[in-house]
Amino acid sequence: MSAALRQAAYAVTASACGAVRMTVAGENAHLRPSGALWLETDRTLVVADLHFEKGSAYAARGQLLPPYDTGETLRRLEAEIEATQPSRLVFLGDSFHDGGALARISGRDVERLCAMARSRALIWIIGNHDADGPGSLPGEVADELRLGGLILRHEPQPGLQPGETAGHLHPCARISALGRSVRRRCFVTDGERLILPAFGSYAGGLNVRDAAFSGLFSRAPLVVAVGPERAQAVGWRSLLGE
């Protein structure tokens, strides 16, 4: 099946903002170029795997990275909030890189997070990196959240899980085009289940052809690669392994 036909089978459309629009488990989903998921019906913005303070965690171990990842991740998140004006913001787990991140995060960045809660509900889904939750930051804490036909949780469960919307795996795609290849963070879905890319500036990525994705989808999934200006639906046959 050609990439165009595969995209048609998934009934994807492009929006003026650069997002890919499609139905996931019966719910209208906007897969945005930033890697955020916008659920317009519920006015809900979802982001996964922000890994706040990953840079400072590495610095403590002697790996010197510019300590600006939290600020840059928040800048991108603020831009998404401004663009979508959500009534609910869901952090889909691993919002903090480790248990000490809240002690290292700057007061300015704490204030930016608190400001996000002044006009909307914040929901922190617990991940494997941040099992202690968001500490004294505002918002509700949950293991999972149900929105219509979707079940929002951090880590994908084994086997087919219709409606599951998860993070954790940090999906990336290596795409072959015009005799060269590019690597992009991506959403991956079969129309019933959706895995979000990591939103954090320093979060890494796992190739969607890795064995960790095997058995999660009922058919060859569709990848939606993200970039600075637009998201792009890509057929499975256009993808390369590492």
Residue 142 confidence class, pLDDT cut points 50, 70, 90: very high
User: What is the extent of the structural domain holding 14?
Assistant: 3-240
The Cα 36–Cα 4 span in angstroms is 24
Residue 198 confidence class, pLDDT cut points 50, 70, 90: very high
CA atoms within 13 A on the CB side of 219: 9
159, 215 in Cβ contact below 8 A? Answer: yes
Residue 2 confidence class, pLDDT cut points 50, 70, 90: very low
Task: Look at residue 81 in the predicted model and tell me its pLDDT.
Answer: 98
Task: Look at residue 60 in the predicted model and tell me its pLDDT.
Answer: 66
Closest alpha carbon to 21 in 32, 9, 13: 13
Domain count along the chain: 1
In the predicted structure, residue 5 carries a pLDDT above the cut 50: no
